Amino acid sequence: MKTMKHIRYGSWGALALAMLLTLVGPFYSPAAEAHGERAQQASLRMRTMHWFDTEIQPRKVAVNETVHVTGRFMPSQWWPEHIRSVEESAFMNIGVPGPAFLRIDSRVNGVPMIRSTRFHLGKTYEYDVLLKARAPGRYHIHPVISVEGAGPIIGPAFWVEVTGDQKDFKHTITTMTGNVINPETYAMSTILWWNALWFVIGIAWLAWWFRKLPVIMPRYIKVEELGDDANQLITIPDMIVSALFFGFVMLVIAGGYFWANYQYPITSVLQTGKVEVEPLPQPPQMVEVEVNKATYRIPGRSFQVEMTVTNRSPRPVQVGEFNAANIRFINNKLLNVKAQEKDDLVAATGLRVDNPPIQPGETRTITIYADDALWETYRLTSLINEPDGRFAALLMFFDDQGTRYMQEIGGPMIPSFG
């Protein structure tokens, strides 16, 4: 049987180990270079947001220089029913590891994205985000739509290298009263003072209850032994000290409130209303697509779609790109699209279309094959394990003059194990 002395030393040892891991752990943690798009559920990536025309320029900047993140997205008409819809509440954001950039401006269809909004399924939106480099390093930058209740929907990314010294970073704003301040250091002494005060209060509160070691396990055992009579472990001095702590904390909160009102009489409350963003005008639907059958062949990592296409445009069209879950499968017989960098999600020869161009006014059944190891690399093969076996993707047709016609397709997906 362990003595109380052994328990006391054990408690102190566990506390010391926990503090050591807390302090030292961050310095030995490996650096995270990307955002883990592969970890997101396959249906979440495929049936929520279609990102296209994403561009980030320039790819190499110095501290204080700006980066433009532009592109378009379309919320899928096949949005999963078990996920909160983007039509309720969403926010345009940027995904980057840590506070490496400052967002100068953010717009969707020209509307400033300083608040949340809602996006309509099946409609197209254009975004433009201006970032200012703050910290040197190499960063994987994503456009992100944060959906209330569903989390972030991550778009395709590119690497951006930032050079220089963070000490040279400059950022000032002018307040409503005309004061020019630096948000990096504004009221830092006040922030540190308040944090120190609450830290001291917290330590004093813990010190009172830990004044008689050991505490945790022996006290737990005592509570189990006493059952309904465990309240007797709290003594009259404990209740008096608790009341004094409560009164002091309330006094500090009230004092801080009145001091802040006196120090900053002119304030503006946080805004919670939504802004309305009208989708881009929809062009006439010149190419109509009806999916007949979609199959994913597991051994060959091949996605096959049989569809009936009607061409209502004045020129012959052909499938040039199949965009699913941020992966671009390209028909290299029609388009010359190459990956811009190692991590770019482009299968430059991944789309095979055996059918000749569809002539104006013609309706024909065609089959496309999206074959590439990216299905496996980005863990999209897990689609076969989901209870709602559906897919969604953007299909892009091009005529002989390079005009692009987009159509979202979707429907049931049948896995094939042969």
Greater confidence, 150 or 30?
Answer: 150
Q: Which amino acid is at 347?
A: A
Lowest mean pLDDT among 14-23, 108-117, 174-183, 314-323: 14-23
> Is the pLDDT assigned to residue 296 strictly greater than 50?
yes
Structure tokens at 204: 């004093």
Structure tokens at 397: 């047709």
Class of domain 287-416: mainly beta
Average pLDDT on 184-197 reads: 93
pLDDT at 301: 80
Give 15's pLDDT tier (boundaries 50, 70, 90).
Answer: low
pLDDT at 5: 47
pLDDT at 14: 55
Query: Where is 367: in which H helix or E strand?
Result: strand 363-371
Q: How far apart are CA 90 and CA 113, in angstroms?
A: 10
By DSSP bridging, strand 66-75 and strand 49-57 are antiparallel
Average pLDDT on 170-194 reads: 91
Which of 32-36, 50-54, 263-267, 371-375 has the highest average model confidence (pLDDT)? 50-54
> Is the pLDDT assigned to residue 31 strictly greater than 60?
no
Query: Where is 396: in which H helix or E strand?
Result: strand 390-399
pLDDT at 78: 93
By DSSP bridging, strand 66-75 and strand 60-62 are unpaired
Average pLDDT on 252-272 reads: 89
CATH 2.60.120.570 fits 37-173, yes or no: yes
Tell me if 186 sits within 8 A of 173, measured CB to CB.
Answer: no
pLDDT at 2: 47
Same fold, 37-173 and 287-416: no
Average pLDDT on 160-164 reads: 96
3-class secondary structure, 315: coil
> Is the pLDDT assigned to residue 338 strictly greater than 70?
yes
**pLDDT tens digits for range 61-74:** 999 999 999 999 99
Give 142's pLDDT tier (boundaries 50, 70, 90).
Answer: very high
Tell me if 266 sits within 8 A of 177, measured CB to CB.
Answer: yes
Enumerate the domain spans of the chain: 37-173, 184-263, 287-416
Give 374's pLDDT tier (boundaries 50, 70, 90).
Answer: confident
Q: Which amino acid is at 229?
A: D
pLDDT at 1: 45
HSE (side-chain half, CA atoms, 13 Å) at 160:
29
Q: Which of 346, 317, 343 is nearest to 140 (CA)?
A: 343
Average pLDDT on 335-339 reads: 90
